[in-house]
Amino acid sequence: MLPSIDNAAFRRVLGHYPTGVCAITSVYDGKPAAMVVGSFSSVSLNPPLVGFFPDRGSTSWPKIRSSGRFCVNVLASDQQGVCKALASKSDDKFSAVGFRLSDRGTPVLDDVVAWIDCDLHAVGDAGDHHMVLGLVRDLETGSRRDPLVFFQGGYGQFAPLNFESA
């Protein structure tokens, strides 16, 4: 039997865990497609896998899924406007968003902290979401900038206590 947890309490408590903000991009029917997620993670080094969890009700995820490839764009702290544009229901999410196509044909957004170009590896069920695994084919860091962070219902930025050179 599944536990009975109040949805509002679940969101409130889990909102105390900060998440990074990523734009998942692809091309659908010759046009760029995107969705924003806060549920992105490194999964495996061998093979190199990453994962994210799109909502089952997403209208953008089926477009991205059908292409068989996607790019994870780690948004910078000053890209809240990009986040808002790509999270919208607009038919032209990219009208004010700069990007280039990767060598594999997926949109890489301008000025992101990092990007990870992937082939769709697997999709599974995860309650009211899907669990998506991507096989990493190419990746790169951008300029050394703070990432956009989502915490307790709002956006912010990471404040490092110290930075070690990577």
Under-70 pLDDT residues of the chain:
163-166
- Looking at residue 60, its pLDDT comes to 95
How many Cβ atoms from other residues are within 10 Å of residue 2's Cβ? Answer: 5
How would you classify the pairing of strands 154-157 and 148-151? antiparallel
Contact assessment for residue 74 and residue 114, using Cβ atoms and an 8 Å cutoff = yes
Find residue 109's DSSP bridge partners: 99
Contact assessment for residue 109 and residue 97, using Cβ atoms and an 8 Å cutoff = yes
- Looking at residue 164, its pLDDT comes to 65
- Looking at residue 151, its pLDDT comes to 82
Give the pTM: 0.91
Q: Does 105 fall in a domain?
A: yes
- Looking at residue 18, its pLDDT comes to 79
Q: Does 165 fall in a domain?
A: no
- Looking at residue 160, its pLDDT comes to 73
Q: Does 90 fall in a domain?
A: yes
Which range marks the domain in which residue 105 is found?
19-149
22, amino acid identity? C
- Looking at residue 58, its pLDDT comes to 95
Q: Does 70 fall in a domain?
A: yes
